[in-house]
Structures are given as C-alpha cells and as structure tokens.
C-alpha cells in the first residue's frame, strides 16, 4: 500500500477531475458523485474538500486560467514584441491539441456565465488579468493584443469543429482555403454523414 494522500493532494486531484467532467457535461449536467468517483473518494469527503459543487466549479475555472497564463509565460520567456506574440500563439494552439480538456472547459464556463453572476464576475476578473498579462509579456499595443486574442478565439472554434488549419503566418490562408472548399455547400444536407468531403451542388 502506497503512502496516504494528503487533503491538498486530493484537492488537486479533484480540481483536475472537475476540469474533465465539467468540460464534458457542463455545470448542470455534472454530478459531484462522478467527480468523486474519478478522484477515488466518497462524495461526503469531496464536500470536505469543496463545500459546494459551485465552489469546485469555480476552483476548476481558476485552474483553467492559471494553466493558460502559465503557458503564456513559458512561451514568451525571453522574447518581446511580435516574437512573443508568435510564441504564445504557437503554444496556445499546441495546448488546444494536447490538452483539449482546457478548451472544452472554457466553453462550458462561458455557457455557465450566461445565467450565473458569480461565474460572470470570475470571467471579468480573469479575462482582464489575461489581457494585462499578454500586454506585459509582449509590449503590444491594444490593437495587437486584440488581434492576438481574436485569432485565439477563432482557433477555439476551428478546433472544436475539427476544421483543418495551419498555424503561424499561413493561418489566414489555410482558413480561406478551407472556406473555398465548402463554396456552394450551404446546408447540412449537402454533406451526408460518412462523406469525407462535401460535394458541391452539381458534382457527381
């Protein structure tokens, strides 16, 4: 039998489990029993670590932003200006593919904010902090930071829909090429399930 885990270690496990489970089924659709099972503790013990389901969700939200900030700092280390922005952009897209749990949780977080004032306030605080961090790391003007954030949010959408794109300077062109491949395909019915590429109207 291995050494007994401390409450702090269990707490860390609970936050990581919450990121996964809330990211899959959202705040309302996730049971704390499922999270407790993933951690390997009883539900009553989970509530000793976090007094409420909301407290656990908010802790997971803080961790999501913490991880993104840490990734930005690591990527921009020693760089400045455009080079820092490029490095952070590359690192973020790598994170989307290697840690999809963060993207899934982000979307569930935004959905929860629609009807939850506390989640919305957390979003205000952490997005303002993230904006300041990107500005400090890159020294970018507001317009440059805005462009960086906008491209990142578009990358979120493309990744979720499994749209192929190329990172870096080829990003815009790759999105344009993908869009052109779908020219003339206007409705879901034009793209049957199981067909790798949609056929344009009139094609055999």
Q: What is the pLDDT along the chain (204 residues), one digit of tens a residue?
A: 456 788 899 999 999 999 999 999 999 999 999 999 999 999 999 999 999 999 999 999 999 999 999 999 999 998 999 999 999 999 999 999 899 999 999 999 999 999 999 999 999 999 999 999 999 999 999 999 999 999 999 999 999 999 988 887 889 999 999 999 888 888 888 887 777 766 655 555
In 3-state terms the chain splits into helix, strand, coil percentages (rounded to 5) of 75, 0, 25
- What CA–CA distance (Å, rounded) separates 111 from 119? 10
Residue 149 falls inside a structural domain: yes
Residue 200 falls inside a structural domain: no
Residue 45 falls inside a structural domain: yes
Torsion of CA 133, 129, 14, 95, to 10 degrees: -40
Q: Backbone phi, then psi, for 32, in 5-degree steps?
A: -65, -25
Which tokens in the block code for residue 98?
Answer: 């290697």
Residue 184 falls inside a structural domain: no
Terminal CA-CA length for the chain: 64
Instruction: Count CB atoms within 10 A of the CB of residue 85.
Output: 23
Residue 185 falls inside a structural domain: no
Query: Which CATH number characterizes residue 18's domain?
Result: 1.10.357.10
Place of tokens 């869009």: 179
Instruction: Count CB atoms within 10 A of the CB of residue 67.
Output: 16
Please give the pLDDT value at position 7. Answer: 87
Would you give the DSSP letter of residue 73? H
Residue 108 falls inside a structural domain: yes
Q: How far apart, in Å, are the Cα atoms of 91 and each of 131, 149, 168, 204?
A: 16, 13, 11, 42
Residues 6+ apart with CB under 8 A from 129: 65, 69
Report the phi/psi class of residue 23: left, alpha or beta, with left for phi > 0 and alpha for psi in -120 to 50.
alpha
Please give the pLDDT value at position 200. Answer: 56
Q: For the chain, what is the radius of gyration of the CA atoms?
A: 20
Identify the domain containing residue 20 by its residue range: 7-179
Domain count, the chain: 1
Residue 1 falls inside a structural domain: no
Would you give the DSSP letter of residue 194? T
Residue 199 falls inside a structural domain: no
pTM score above 0.75: yes
Please give the pLDDT value at position 199. Answer: 60
């Amino acid at each position: 039998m291995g050494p007994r885990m401390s409450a702090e270690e269990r707490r860390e496990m609970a936050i990581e489990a919450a990121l996964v489970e809330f990211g899959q089924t959202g705040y309302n659709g996730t049971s704390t029993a499922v999270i407790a099972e993933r951690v390997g503790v009883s539900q009553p013990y989970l509530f000793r670590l976090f007094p409420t389901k909301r407290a656990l969700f908010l802790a997971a939200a803080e961790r999501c932003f913490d991880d993104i900030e840490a990734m930005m700092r690591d990527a921009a280390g020693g760089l400045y200006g455009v080079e820092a922005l490029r490095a952070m952009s590359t690192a973020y897209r790598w994170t989307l593919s290697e840690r999809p749990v963060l993207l899934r949780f982000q979307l569930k977080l935004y959905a929860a904010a629609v009807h939850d004032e506390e989640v919305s306030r957390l979003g205000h605080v952490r997005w303002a902090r993230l904006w300041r961090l990107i500005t400090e790391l890159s020294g970018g003007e507001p317009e440059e930071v805005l462009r960086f954030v906008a491209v990142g949010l578009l990358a979120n959408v493309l990744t979720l829909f499994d749209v192929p794109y190329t990172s870096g300077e080829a990003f815009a062109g790759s999105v344009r090429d993908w869009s052109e491949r779908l020219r003339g395909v206007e409705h879901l019915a034009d793209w049957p399930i199981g067909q790798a590429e949609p056929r344009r109207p009139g094609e055999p």
